[in-house]
Amino acid sequence: MIDLGTVRRLATAALANIERHRRRVNALNVYPVPDGDTGTNLEKTMQGIVAELERSTASTTPQLAADVQRAATMEAKGNSGVILSTIVRGMARVLGERERVDGEVLAEALRAGATSAYQAVKLPVEGTMLTVVREMAEEAELPEVRSLPVVDGLARVVARGDDAVSRTPELLDKLREAGVVDAGGAGLVELVRGVLHALTGEPLPEVPDVTEELTEESIHHEESEYRFCTVFVVEGEGLDLDSLRARLEPLGDSLLVTGDASIAKVHVHTDEPDGALAIGRAVGVVDAARVEIGDMRSQASEREQWLAQLHAAAQAPPTDVALVAVAQGGGNRELLRSVGAAIVIEGGQTMNPSVGQLLEGVTAVNADHVIVLPNNPNVRLAAENAANESTKDVRVIATASVPEGIVAAFAFDRETDVDANEAAMRRAIEDLSVGEIVRASRDATVDRVTAAEGEFLAMLDGRAFAADADLWVVLDALLDRFAADGRSLVLALRGEDAPAGEEIEARIEERGLEPDVKWGGQPHYPLLLSAE
Amino acid sequence: MQLTRANTAIVLDSTSDLVDARERHANMRLVPLYVLFDGESLRDHVDISPAVFYERLAAARNLPTTSQPTPGDFLACYEELAGAGFERIWSLHLTSKLSGTFESARRAAAELGGDRVRVVDTETVSLVVAMLAEAIDRRLETGTTDEEIDELVQRFKRVNRVVFTVATLEFLQKGGRIGKAQALAGSLLNVKPILTIEDGVVVPLGRVRGRQKALAEFARLFAEGTEDGEGLHLAIAHANAPEWVDVLTDMARKVRPQATLDLVEPLGAVVGTHTGPGAVGFFWFQD
């Protein structure tokens, strides 16, 4: 006899186990939409079912089955919850007709669950919860499993479920690309495992560390502006992972804090590894022997980085046309890459790249046509020489500054051909106004503007425009001019010794202009600007 | 069957952002989706207003997630309407490609039995769904039929237009709702992606730098896609970005002086979770 008390106990055990695994399952969630809520949805759906069971007064098995079916339908949360509810409904339909459960009934119930799940989904996709429930049903249907006592049969079903989950990446590309197993399938197995352990009375296995499945490799794919990859373990009592995370967050990026209240593993990219360790020591014991600090910058010399960049560009999918740009300053190079440059060569005013290096870049990109943005008058000639040397069709758009290059690059579209791109990029900078603020290295009079050594000199479209000991005075002069000319959008790239971005933004906005202020990192020029 | 306001109800979900549906029309209901903030489940527009939501979002350490109404939520609403004597219920929902809401409603309709409820996947989202509800209601006022409403719905799917932009693509990305607009991601500049909904998914139309150019792009698309007239209905929805309302209203008046501006509303917590603050949508439908 399947009675209400037993069903409540088993459902509660299933819920307890999915609660333990919620975070891990959320972290796995990439399919169908990577919104990290599969664990939560399964938990909420199960919570709803348990709550309905608490209210139920069913005295017969068919009544109980009807209550469970209704609860499952009504409480389904999210995609995974809906599929879970159809599985539960299918199983309850079979179990409601039986007086007792043996291996035969288990097989029949799982098959009914799997069938109803497949029917509920318009286009069944393999490598998901569907695959896992189907394989669990297939396991139960094996002749040698059918004849086992139901607890032993269920143990086989859970083992097969684990196996099916581990094979989901073979069936679904999205999972393989993300390097994870299916979240819904993993959650489903945990629900069944909860039931199994309630029946056997055995303790549940530990929750696997989230980092194992997230893979640190995937984190290292992101480029970091920080220098030290820092990994350590904190042991203690009542560790609050969220608060640990919040305290570590300001120190860097690629932060991962995993574990539980007694042991936490921390991974962070930071410039202050000692600061990160101190935060760990404030809440628990950090075993010095297990601290790993890697210097990510020393890991690749400049030449190695350049070769890596060439290699990456060569491996990129082929396009009709690729973009090669030249810039000084880490921020500027990132900005150019973010708007589509396949290769950004280090260089500018004081450090001109060689024709050979430009040629290397042009040769490496996986395209027959190349557009080069020299972004400095002193680099233009080298770019043109490289264009002549190359066997590829190379067009040089003679951008004279980095903001001009960025505006041109923004018009670049790798999906269209070289002629359309060249035309669109030239059009984008046709009417662009460029401002540069540089510190005078000696007393000088340029274009009838006199600047003393150490003073700020503002250039407008290549001609000296204003000079003053106060940077704000020359910036205001430039911005007033932009406003008077009816410009609307100002891009400002902050270089070494630049003032704070907020103050620059405020001055741009004061004049009714729209600001886009970014860290460029170029030497010698505290500010580079363009106005459209 | 002759359908009227007396015998036909319209059910919307809260992503239509027609907050006061029931106050506007006695035969309209709004079923809330859920927004989950650190494990706390809140009903969109019921337990959490847009104003409170954007305040909380700004301070939140973990981004919220969202969840569709349960079939039980819809069933309760349908049962209430059936009990009140409505013989026909048109239930209009956001695109099934971005949410399981339509599916939930369909299940509830099946659970209710009979053919009282017509569940529609509008293949779009936000205020334009409310505009469809208003268009159906205009027909109910003079009397209509299921066939006429069905025709209207099909025409609506062909001709309605949503154009929107977001302050950052981060929220669409984190919510997994970005689709093909993924191609626009990655730029570090102040980029306004120009997005639309096509066949139920988010599709990029282009990207521009800065608000002024975004506005110009909205105006261009609006002029290209419409003809002037009172039958042209408009709506504006924004995620805590009221500065857009006047500029878009002015733009609309200049481009199509005779058009009717039906609705200006803040985007609720659920849609706001996926667009992030600073998003603005401009909707039109030639009825």
- Which of A385, A410, A430 is at the close of a domain? A430
Whether residue A166 is found in the same domain as residue A196: yes
Nearest to A268 by CA among A204, A322, A333, A222: A222
Whether residue A423 is found in the same domain as residue A437: no
Whether residue A50 is found in the same domain as residue A179: yes
**Chain A residues with CB-CB distance to B275 below 8 A:** none
**Chain B residues with CB-CB distance to A76 below 8 A:** 70-71, 104
Whether residue A385 is found in the same domain as residue A311: yes
CB–CB contact A33 B187 (8 Å): no
A91 membership: H or E segment, kind and range: helix A78-95
Q: Are strands A252-259 and A263-270 parallel, antiparallel or unpaired?
A: antiparallel
The tens digit of pLDDT for each residue in B235-278 reads 999 999 999 999 999 999 999 999 999 999 999 999 999 999 99
CB atoms closer than 10 angstroms to residue A125? 15
B204 touches chain A (CB under 8 A): no
Whole-number pLDDT of residue B223: 95
Q: Which residue of B has its CA nearest to A331?
A: B188
Q: Which domains does chain B have, with CATH numbers?
A: 8-33+68-158 (3.40.50.10170), 161-286 (3.30.1180.10)
CB–CB contact A410 B75 (8 Å): no
* Over residues A495-507, mean pLDDT: 90
Whether residue A495 is found in the same domain as residue A399: no
The tens digit of pLDDT for each residue in A363-403 reads 999 999 999 999 988 888 888 888 888 899 999 999 999 99
Whether residue A22 is found in the same domain as residue A170: yes
Write out the two tokens for A36.
Answer: 């990290």
Whether residue A311 is found in the same domain as residue A265: no
The tens digit of pLDDT for each residue in A112-130 reads 999 989 987 767 889 999 9
A70-74, A492-496, B191-195, B269-273: least confidently modelled range: A70-74
CB–CB contact A76 B174 (8 Å): no
CB–CB contact B212 A488 (8 Å): yes
Q: B143 or A204: which carries more pLDDT confidence?
A: B143
In chain B, residues 214-273 whose CB comes closer than 8 Å to chain A = none
- Residue B41, helix vs strand vs coil: strand
Distance of residue B191 Cα from the nearest chain A Cα, in angstroms: 9
Report the number of distinct structural domains present in chain A.
4
Nearest to A251 by CA among A232, A225, A220: A225
Instruction: Quote the domain boundaries for residue A361.
Output: 302-430
Whether residue A63 is found in the same domain as residue A158: yes
Contact B199, B215 (CB under 8 A): no
Whether residue A57 is found in the same domain as residue A169: yes
With 50 as the cut, is the pLDDT of residue A405 above it?
Answer: yes
Left if phi > 0, otherwise alpha if psi is -120 to 50, otherwise beta: which for B176?
left
- Whether residue B266 is preceded by a cis peptide bond, meaning omega within 30 degrees of 0, is no
Whole-number pLDDT of residue A35: 57
Whole-number pLDDT of residue A212: 40
- Which of A275, A295, A315 is at the close of a domain? A295
Question: Nearest CB to A516: which of B70, B107, B209?
Answer: B209
The tens digit of pLDDT for each residue in A211-237 reads 444 443 333 333 457 777 787 888 888
- Residue B206, helix vs strand vs coil: strand
The interface pTM score, or ipTM, of the predicted complex is: 0.76
Mark A96-108 as b/e (b = at least 16 C-beta within 10 Å).
Answer: bebeebebebbbb
Contact B283, B128 (CB under 8 A): yes
Q: Quote the mean pLDDT of chain A.
A: 86
Whether residue A260 is found in the same domain as residue A343: no
Whether residue A442 is found in the same domain as residue A364: no
Q: Quote the mean pLDDT of chain B.
A: 92
CATH number of the domain enclosing A417 = 3.40.50.510
**Chain A residues with CB-CB distance to B37 below 8 A:** none
Nearest to B212 by CA among B175, B258, B247, B174: B247
With 70 as the cut, is the pLDDT of residue B184 above it?
Answer: no
Whether residue A8 is found in the same domain as residue A143: yes
CATH number of the domain enclosing A521 = 3.30.1180
Model-wide pTM > 0.90: no
Bridge partners, residue A268, by sequence: A230
- Which of A263, A295, A327 is at the close of a domain? A295
CATH number of the domain enclosing A247 = 3.30.70
E-strand spans in A236-310? 252-259, 263-270, 285-286, 292-295
Q: Name residue, tokens 């006022």.
A: B141
